């Protein structure tokens, strides 16, 4: 295909693709993280610990992480659009199963099913974007896709918390499932057909060669590490801040804690802004500034004043979504021909960080309370900053995408 067949900014097909990807990202994060603000309700309803309750989040992200690569290989072989459409349909079905769960075990299994289905969408979406969107607009569209993720995460958490406050967690999760139905129908209607997809072989020899090339790239493995660390820190701070705010002296209820997730609107704005800034001024320096913003935000949460805690969380959220948007775009630039597999490896790292660090950081809260959490979070942010220095001042000097 020639460059003229790529979706150009301002055309109807471009707008349809942009809205479809935004809605796909919105639905994923709405369904995946809707249990996060109501973890304290699970501890009461089932008589379990906060760490056990967090399994309703990590079960989905863990299955997502492990299935991203196999499903991305299917998307490399059979196409992006069919897999993305099936992903949203399946995730919505499991979301209804979550709402109807009679016990904690069934709830965790259903949440794992949501993650397993969603696994087919993110890597395929990133690959679709890299193949179908004109290069001049990819940073902007990636930023808008991440903004959809942010808005979905904000809306899903707020909606489940609000409905749970005035009814029960069953109805809270049912509300999320209804949103999934609406987004799935719109996604199916809007997504344009792919014109640049080229089927890739699933032969083990070809796959092994591709993996070797990917990990031989001087930038991609470090971007995978970035994804693991920033997502682990992000899920950890939101998982356990809810427990902190539900205790004295704050004593906030589910709806009030859920409203904290409205800060995702800040992340939505920052991801779109970061995509544009990276297109114009370069990825590295913008990313370093955003990582620094994450660190300042974490430290601000040590203050005991609720307004300062919320301000610190807003700073952290702003920096996190911007860093994720820039890193995602950087991965797409360096991916070469096997975009589906590279995107899956990046996102697998991302969700493994969510599952592993999101749950294993629980003992920091249990034994050392919020100061312990801050130390753990700052270790993650510090490591990401060191990676950012390498990417900015070494890799960009010899920037060549993998082939």
Domains plus CATH for the chain? 9-192+217-396 (1.20.1250.20)
Mark out the alpha helices in 191-282 (DSSP H runs).
204-216, 220-246, 254-260, 264-281
Residue 4 has pLDDT above 70, yes or no: no
Task: Residue 210: count other Cβ atoms within 10 Å of its Cβ.
Answer: 20
d(CA 346, CA 213): 15
- E-assigned strand segments in 64-193: none
> Picking from 168-172, 206-210, 237-241, 373-377, which range would have the lowest pLDDT averaged per residue?
206-210
Dihedral sign for Cα 374, 377, 379, 384, please: negative
The burial class, CB within 10 Å (0-12 / 13-18 / 19+), for 104 is middle
pLDDT per position as a tens digit, 31-42: 998 998 898 899
Structure tokens belonging to residue 186: 């719109």
In percent, the amount of the chain with pLDDT more than 90 equals: 45
Contacts of residue 212, Cβ cutoff 8 Å, sequence gap at least 6: none
Residue carrying the six token digits 């990917």: 214
In the predicted model, what is the mean pLDDT of residues 202-222? 86
Region 276-293: mean pLDDT is 87
Average pLDDT, the chain: 87
90 has a pLDDT exceeding 60: yes
pTM of the model as a whole: 0.74
Question: Of 179, 236, 254, which is closest to residue 377 (Cα–Cα)?
Answer: 236
pLDDT at 403: 47
């Amino acid at each position: 295909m020639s460059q003229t067949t790529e979706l150009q900014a301002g055309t109807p097909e471009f707008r349809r693709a942009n809205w479809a990807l935004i809605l796909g990202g919105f639905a994923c994060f709405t369904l995946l993280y809707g249990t996060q603000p109501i973890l304290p309700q699970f501890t009461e309803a089932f008589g379990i610990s906060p760490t056990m309750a967090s399994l309703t989040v990590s079960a989905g992200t863990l299955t997502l992480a492990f299935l991203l690569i196999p499903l991305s290989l299917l998307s490399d072989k059979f196409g992006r659009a069919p897999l993305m459409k099936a992903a949203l349909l399946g995730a919505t079905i499991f979301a209804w199963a979550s709402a109807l769960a009679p016990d904690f075990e069934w709830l965790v299994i259903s949440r794992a099913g949501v993650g397993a289905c969603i696994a087919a969408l993110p890597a395929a979406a990133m690959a679709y974007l890299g193949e179908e969107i004109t290069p001049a607009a990819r940073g902007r569209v990636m930023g808008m896709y991440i903004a959809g993720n942010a808005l979905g995460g904000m809306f899903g958490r707020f909606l489940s918390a609000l409905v749970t406050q005035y009814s029960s967690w069953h109805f809270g999760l049912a509300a999320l499932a209804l949103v999934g139905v609406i987004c799935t129908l719109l996604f199916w209607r809007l997504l344009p057909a792919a014109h640049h997809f080229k089927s890739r072989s699933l032969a083990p020899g070809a796959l092994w060669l591709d993996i070797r090339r990917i990990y031989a790239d001087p930038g991609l493995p470090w971007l995978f590490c970035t994804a693991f660390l920033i997502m682990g820190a992000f899920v950890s701070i939101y998982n356990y801040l809810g427990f902190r705010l539900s205790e004295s002296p704050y004593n906030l209820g589910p709806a009030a804690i859920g409203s904290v997730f409205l800060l995702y609107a800040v992340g939505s704005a920052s991801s779109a802004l970061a995509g544009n800034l990276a297109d114009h001024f370069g990825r590295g320096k913008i990313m370093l500034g955003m990582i620094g913003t994450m660190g300042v935000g974490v430290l601000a949460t040590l203050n005991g004043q609720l307004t300062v805690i919320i301000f610190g969380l807003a700073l952290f959220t702003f920096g996190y979504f911007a860093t994720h948007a820039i890193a995602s775009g950087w991965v797409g630039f360096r991916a070469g021909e096997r975009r589906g597999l590279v995107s899956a490896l990046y996102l697998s790292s991302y969700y493994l960080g969510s599952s592993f660090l999101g749950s294993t950081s629980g003992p920091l809260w249990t034994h050392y309370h919020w100061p312990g959490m801050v130390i753990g979070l700052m270790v993650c942010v510090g490591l990401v900053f060191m990676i950012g220095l390498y990417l900015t001042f070494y890799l960009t000097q010899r920037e060549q995408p993998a082939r």
